[in-house]
Structure formats: structure tokens, C-alpha cells
Amino acid sequence: MNKLHPLVFALALTVAGCGGHDKSAAEPAHNTVKASVITLQPVDADVMSAMPGTVVALESVKVASRLMGYIKNIAVAEGQPVKAGERLFTIDPLDIEGGVAQARLGLDQAEKAMQDAKADYERFDALYKDEVVTRQQYEKMKLNYEIATARAGQAKAGLNTAQGQMKYAVVGSPINGVVTQKLANEGDIAAPGYPVLLVENQSRLQVQTTVPEAIYAGLKVGAPIRVEVDGMAEPLEGKLARLSPAADPMTHTHLVKIDVAAPGLRSGAFARVLFATGRQSVLRVPHEAVLNRAGITGVFVVDAKGVAQYRMVRTGREEAGQVEILSGLSAGERVVTGNGAAVNNGDTVQG
């Protein structure tokens, strides 16, 4: 009988020893965790259609100058609140001052001409009464005086107009609001019809969106409308303020305006307007049940033996602390809703 080489015999013992280890010793230990559990039941909910919209200010004024001239000074910055009448910017009054000086000179000349015409008229009036001059000569002096008087009146009106233009050199805010946009800079030429600043009343805001005929037909002014706005943690409760009866000929959609109000809400924000278009059966779980493990959104599902397994789910809208589950769960399954952070795969859950 052949004997085993000592090295081969030692290797055989080593392999045998490794194969004799208990496999269960390498598996992670499972714990028993106390956590609240619910059994999923379908509930009826509105089917919501989300339409894109924009938050806009109900009062929005593009402030322009009534004069043409260089913008001398802009006294406000974007984001700055202003009151009605508060100075926004100033137009260089040099041209206006020149116009006032010219109008004043014209008035002086017209008044002197009127005084001369008046003196001639009074002299010819006396001469006519003494029958020294003819009636034709008298009437001519009278007409000259009337024309001079009218020209003096026109010159005075021109001076008043030129002086009145001075007040337009300083442009104030037409409303209480916030400067939301600067459209020109100091040194630019301002002209009538070309806005320099945009001022909006942020206390009166609306969300504007467009809807197809199928949604428009079921809307009524005054109805509550839910609105989701970027940057706002919770949806806003708005009120339908106006419906445009005429559809856009290109898109065949109607313009809809919703009154909204919330601290921190600003015009220009993107919004999603939610319109109820029907009813359906859905599954919902409390917000606390939805977890994020290694970047995967999911919940712990408890089987008949009480063992928890993490399952990936696709979530939908969240409302009143309840999250809609679009896929990944079925009615009748049991889901961990409390103390989920302490649960791991394979743990036994006790309610």
C-alpha cells in the first residue's frame, strides 16, 4: 500500500478543514425591529392633468420717460421695493432748460411787441376820435394790437409748457411694487415709448396657463385650483380668476388665469397647474414609509413571516403627507411606515 507524501497529506488536511466551516457563520446577523406596519388598500383619487404655467404680476408697469434725453441717474436697483411717486431715474435736463430759456426770451419779445402795438392803438384811437386819421388807419392799429396780444398769449403758453416739461425730467414709480428688471443704463438715451425699468406689484400675483378644450369645458370661475410652483415646498391653493372664451387659432387652447398668494412667491417662476380630469383607484403610503437606500427610492415590504425586504418603487404626487405609488407595490401587501431607518433586509419586523 502506497503512503501519501507528507506535503500532499498536509494539503489534504487543510482543504478538509476549510470545507468543514459552518456556512451560516459568514451570513450577516438579522435583527428583530419594532416598527409600525400597514396593509395597502386602494383608494379613489382624482386623475390630475398638469399644465405648465408661469407666475405673473397682475400689476406690471414698463416705466419710460416722456422726454428724450440722456439718462443721468438711476436711483434704484433690481429687486428693490419702491413706493408710488418714489424717484426711479432722472433725465439730463440740459435740453429742457434750453427750451425754457428760449421760451422765456420769446415771451419777453412778444410782450414788448404787444406794448408797442398797444401804444400805437391808443394813440390812433385818440386821433380817430379827433378825426385826424381815417377809420381804415384806426382799424389797422387795432388789428395789430390784437395780433400782438395773441402772440404774447401764445408765447406765455409756450413758456408754461416748457417749464412743465421740467417735472418729467424726474421719473417716479407709478405704483407700489418692486423693480424687477432694468432695461437701460445711465448714459443711455431715453425716449418716449422705450421703457427703462419694469416695476411689478408682487402682492397681487396670478398663474397663467393654457388648456385644451376638453379641460376648459369643465372649468368655472371661482373654482379652487391646485398649483405647484418651483421652489415652494407645498402646492398652493389658487382660485380660478378668469377664463378666455376665445381659443388660440394656432394651438386651439384657452388662456386661464388663477389667483395665487404665498410668502416668497415671485413673478416669473415656473408653475404646474393641476386640473382634475377624472377618478381612479390608487395606492398611497405615508411619506415616512418612502426611503432612499444607496440612491434607490423604495419601501420595506413585510412578508407573511414578518421578514422585511427592501423594494424599489416609483412614486407620484404627494398630498397631505401621502405619497402615491405608481409601480412596485400591490394591494394587500404590508409596508413598514415607521422606524424604517432602523430596518435592514432580512430583519424581522414586529408591529
| Nearest of 141, 138, 149, 139 to residue 114 by alpha carbon | 149
Type of residue numbered 65: S
Type of residue numbered 137: Q
Hey, what domains does the chain have and what are their CATH numbers? 29-44+281-350 (2.40.420.20), 49-58+202-279 (2.40.30.170), 64-91+168-200 (2.40.50.100), 94-167 (1.10.287.470)
> Cα–Cα–Cα angle for 213, 216, 219, nearest 5°?
160
| Rounded Cα distance, 263 and 205, in Å | 11
pLDDT of residue 309: 95
Q: For the segment 263-301, what is each residue's pLDDT rounded down to a tens digit?
A: 888 888 999 999 988 888 889 999 999 999 999 999 999
Q: Supply 262's cell numbers.
A: 404665498
- Quick check: pTM over 0.85? no
Length of the chain: 351
Q: Supply 183's cell numbers.
A: 432695461
Indicate left, alpha or beta for 252 from its phi (over 0: left) and psi (-120 to 50: alpha): left
Reply yes or no on whether the pLDDT at 5 is more than 50: no
pLDDT of residue 164: 67
The alpha carbon of 114 is separated from its chain's Cα centroid by a whole number of angstroms, namely: 62
**Helix (H/G/I), strand (E/B), else coil: 24:** helix
Most confident region among 114-118, 164-168, 231-235 by mean pLDDT: 114-118
pLDDT of residue 350: 87
Residues 6+ apart with CB under 8 A from 3: none
pLDDT of residue 17: 38
Contact in structure between 216 and 257 (CB atoms under 8 Å): no
| Rounded Cα distance, 60 and 208, in Å | 14
